[in-house]
Amino acid sequence: MTATETATTTPLLELRGVSKSFGAVQALSGVDFDIHAGEVVGLVGDNGAGKSTLVKVMSGIHLPDAGHYLFEGRERKVSGPNDPYAFGVATVYQDLALCDNLDVVANLFIGREEISRGPAALIRELDEPEMEKQAGELLRTFSINIPSLRAEVGTMSGGQRQSIAIARSLVGDARVVLLDEPTAALGVAQTAQVLALVRRLREQGLGVVVISHNLADVFEVCDRIYVMRLGRKAGVYQAADSTPEEIVGAITGGRGTVRTQAAAAAAQAGDDGEEATR
């Protein structure tokens, strides 16, 4: 997504002026955030910067003390995790919350099982064929390769498990997917597998938020990088126009080494003016 497209389209998910405190600790202070369809946004910051609190506000686990929650341009009332999920916001936490002793189909539909009725309309049972059909279609749509739909998840690699957890978040009508440290415990090959899946989510028009400490992964897949520091927004950067050094400077507050987007634009305008007078 280009900067022009971002500026002229309505965000899928938008937070305005969100604040949240826990006792005397101010975790978030007037934070704004937005993500558009077909966009990957990296959410970065040091430990304690407020990333986890912000994501939990997006997912409905934490209710903000102040601010506004908008989805598809409309302000929404959020009273718990079920509300964002109903809007189309799905979260994949770092622990994945998979059941290792269950197969892929069971993990994808756990808590959202398809039910069939018996001939007398009184007997209810799991519709295994329908769930297997939907699971196969979902995995094919996002090119997720696994040994078998009926293989136990506990036998699979870290990359496959992460992919299954992401796929589970898409059962239903997810429009925005929040990924908490999706590559933290993965090797090189498994990381590449998960990042490829993130790209496919973007290609399918989803908005993806990637919370990560790994700037190499962030720069590889993200369109914009949202930096948090001490519970506030430290800056938002176009990944293609930024550098890891600039992002680290924003994270740590090293202002002497950081050029903000506004400063970079002003410098470029000055250079252009000099060229025009020569």
More confident residue, 52 or 121: 52
Burial class (CB in 10 A: 0-12, 13-18, 19+), 72: middle
pLDDT band for position 121 (cuts 50, 70, 90): low
pLDDT band for position 3 (cuts 50, 70, 90): very low
pLDDT band for position 123 (cuts 50, 70, 90): low
**Percent of the chain surpassing pLDDT 90:** 75
More confident residue, 47 or 122: 47
Answer yes or no: are the C-beta atoms of 179 and 166 closer than 8 Å.
yes
More confident residue, 113 or 246: 246
Phi and psi (nearest 5°) for 109?
-110, 10
Spatial separation of the C-alpha atoms in residues 252 and 100, rounded to whole Å: 39
Spatial separation of the C-alpha atoms in residues 135 and 150, rounded to whole Å: 11
DSSP calls for 33-68:
EEE-TTEEEEEE--TTSSHHHHHHHHTTSS--SEEE
Six-digit token pair at 170? 């898409």
**Percent of the chain surpassing pLDDT 70:** 86
* Domains of the chain, residue spans: 11-238
- For residue 265, pLDDT beyond 80: no
Short-list 65, 44, 63, 54, CA closest to 91:
54
Which pLDDT belongs to residue 152? 96
**pTM to 2 decimals?**
0.83
Spatial separation of the C-alpha atoms in residues 184 and 112, rounded to whole Å: 28
Mean pLDDT value of segment 76-91? 96
Mean pLDDT value of segment 34-44? 98
Question: In 3-state terms, what secondary structure has residue 258?
Answer: coil
The per-residue pLDDT for range 137-193, each reduced to its tens digit, is 999 999 999 999 999 999 999 999 999 999 999 988 899 999 999 998 889 999 999
- For residue 2, pLDDT beyond 70: no
pLDDT band for position 211 (cuts 50, 70, 90): very high
Six-digit token pair at 92? 């994949």
Q: Count other C-beta atoms under 10 Å from residue 65's C-beta.
A: 13
Answer yes or no: are the C-beta atoms of 117 and 128 closer than 8 Å.
no
pLDDT band for position 260 (cuts 50, 70, 90): very low
Please list the residues that pair with 74 across neighbouring strands: 71
Sequence-distant (≥ 6) Cβ neighbours of residue 261 within 8 angstroms: 235, 236, 237, 238, 241
Q: Count other C-beta atoms under 10 Å from residue 71's C-beta.
A: 21
Which pLDDT belongs to residue 119? 61
The per-residue pLDDT for range 96-111, each reduced to its tens digit, is 889 999 999 999 999 8
pLDDT band for position 256 (cuts 50, 70, 90): very low
- For residue 263, pLDDT beyond 50: no
CATH number attached to the domain at 11-238: 3.40.50.300
Spatial separation of the C-alpha atoms in residues 214 and 152, rounded to whole Å: 30
- For residue 194, pLDDT beyond 80: yes
Instruction: Say which DSSP state 103 is in.
Output: B
Which pLDDT belongs to residue 134? 94
Spatial separation of the C-alpha atoms in residues 82 and 87, rounded to whole Å: 9
Q: Which of 96-110, 226-240, 243-257 has the lowest mean pLDDT?
A: 243-257
Short-list 108, 72, 106, CA closest to 207:
72
> What is the distance in angstroms between the CA of the first residue and the CA of the last residue of the chain?
35
Average model confidence (pLDDT) across the chain: 88
- The Cβ-side half-sphere exposure at 93, using a 13 Å CA radius, reads 10
Spatial separation of the C-alpha atoms in residues 268 and 34, rounded to whole Å: 26
